[in-house]
């Protein structure tokens, strides 16, 4: 039986998913894309999981890109399908009802940066390098990179990274808005897990409301987005967690959220 290219472990409501192909710098082949898709689908349905962390095996790479050896033999029709498989995974992550933090421990190039951008938050080691080098292969990003770069970092940065193909260091990625935090490599896991634990302790229904309002509402015009926000806001008044959170504030104690 072939070992899964994705490892999973749970810690206090946080599921850590690790792309485990260190000999290939964790490159995304079709099997890995499908394994990640299944892993995120399972996490979405697991009531015991409140936040996720995504990373790559080893210290060199988060994910160094799509598997070039596999892509080299694809026809145009097969290439289209490969793109759609990758885009479905990225969309699943982006629309997951639980927060996902990318722990960028090394190279996040091509499909790796696209994977990180699909996550809701990104913490990078100061040694990380991020980029979209597909133009050097005679390609363009195919897993949503052009669109998420545009939305995260703006048109100028999206064109710079995609047209030139040169990666940027973690400090520049932070300036561009590609990552939320940069920490020393030795502290990356501890800092990322601290952030994930904070998310796991928060009110799950409120987190889901934020994700829906920002991710889905952000795809609408301003008026539709505001209406969507109001709907999410109002729904939370029917939750026990909202009553608990407001009562705990008034009583000056820590809330105990129960996801209902």
Residue 215: which of 73, 80, 82, 120 has the closest Cα? 120
Report the distance separating Cα 193 and Cα 127, nearest Å: 18
| Tokens read off for 120 | 């809701």
Average pLDDT, integer, range 203-215: 92
Residue 162 binned pLDDT confidence (cut-offs 50, 70, 90): very high
- pLDDT for the residue 256: 86
Break the chain into its structural domains and give their ranges: 6-200, 203-250
The C-alpha atoms of residue 163 and residue 155 are separated, in whole angstroms, by 12
114 belongs to the catalytic site = yes
Region of poorest pLDDT, from 43-57, 101-115, 230-244: 230-244
Domain 203-250 has CATH 3.40.50: no
| Three-class secondary structure of residue 235 per DSSP | helix
Local confidence band at 217 (pLDDT 50, 70, 90 cut-offs): confident
- 141 sits in the region (left: phi over 0; alpha: psi -120 to 50; else beta) called beta
Give 59's pLDDT tier (boundaries 50, 70, 90): confident
pLDDT at 1 over 80: no
134 is a catalytic site residue: yes
Edge to edge, the sheet with strand 181-183 lists 6-11, 14-19, 51-56, 100-104, 121-125, 181-183
Which class in CATH covers the domain with range 6-200? alpha beta
Candidates 197, 193, 202, 204; CA nearest to 236 is 204
Which stretches of 69-217 are assigned E, i.e. beta strand?
Answer: 100-104, 107-109, 121-125, 129-131, 168-169, 181-183
Binned at pLDDT 50, 70 and 90, residue 61 comes out as very high
The active-site residue out of 134, 160, 229, 240 is 134
Judge whether residue 209 has pLDDT over 60.
Answer: yes
Are the C-beta atoms of residues 165 and 105 closer than 8 Å to each other? no
For the cut 80, the answer to whether the pLDDT of residue 193 exceeds it is yes
Spatial contact of 23 and 11, defined as CB atoms under 8 Å apart: no
Answer whether 10's CB lies under 8 Å from 48's CB.
yes
- Read off the pLDDT of residues 87-136 as tens digits, 9 standing for 90 and up: 999 999 999 999 999 999 999 999 999 999 999 999 999 999 999 999 99
pLDDT at 244: 86
Per annotation, catalytic residue among 45, 70, 94, 114: 114
Q: Do domains 6-200 and 203-250 have the same CATH topology?
A: no
Contacts of 125 (CB under 8 A, 6+ apart): 104, 105, 106, 170, 182, 183, 184, 185, 188
């Amino acid at each position: 039986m072939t070992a899964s290219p994705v490892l999973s472990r749970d810690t206090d409501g946080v599921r850590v998913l690790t792309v485990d192909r260190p000999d290939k710098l964790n490159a995304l082949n079709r099997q890995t894309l499908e394994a990640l898709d299944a892993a995120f689908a399972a996490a979405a349905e697991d009531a015991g999981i409140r936040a996720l962390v995504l990373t790559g095996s080893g210290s060199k790479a988060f994910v160094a890109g799509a598997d070039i050896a596999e892509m080299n033999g694809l026809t145009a029709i097969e290439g289209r399908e490969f793109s759609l498989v990758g885009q479905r995974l990225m969309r699943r992550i982006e629309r997951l009802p639980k927060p996902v933090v990318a722990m960028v421990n090394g190279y996040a190039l091509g499909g790796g940066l696209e994977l990180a951008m699909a996550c809701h938050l990104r913490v990078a080691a100061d040694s990380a390098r991020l980029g979209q080098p597909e133009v050097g292969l005679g390609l363009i990003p195919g897993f949503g990179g052009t669109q998420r770069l545009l939305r995260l970092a703006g048109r100028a940065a999206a064109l710079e990274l995609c047209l030139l193909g040169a990666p940027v260091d973690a400090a520049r990625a932070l300036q561009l808005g590609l990552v939320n935090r940069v920490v020393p490599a030795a502290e990356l896991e501890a800092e990322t897990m601290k952030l994930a634990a904070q998310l796991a302790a928060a009110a799950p229904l409120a987190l889901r409301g934020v994700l829906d309002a920002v991710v889905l509402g952000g795809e609408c015009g301003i008026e539709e987005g505001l209406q969507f926000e109001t709907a999410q806001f109002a729904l939370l008044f029917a939750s026990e967690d909202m009553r608990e959170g407001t009562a705990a504030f008034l009583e000056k104690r820590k809330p105990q959220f129960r996801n209902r």
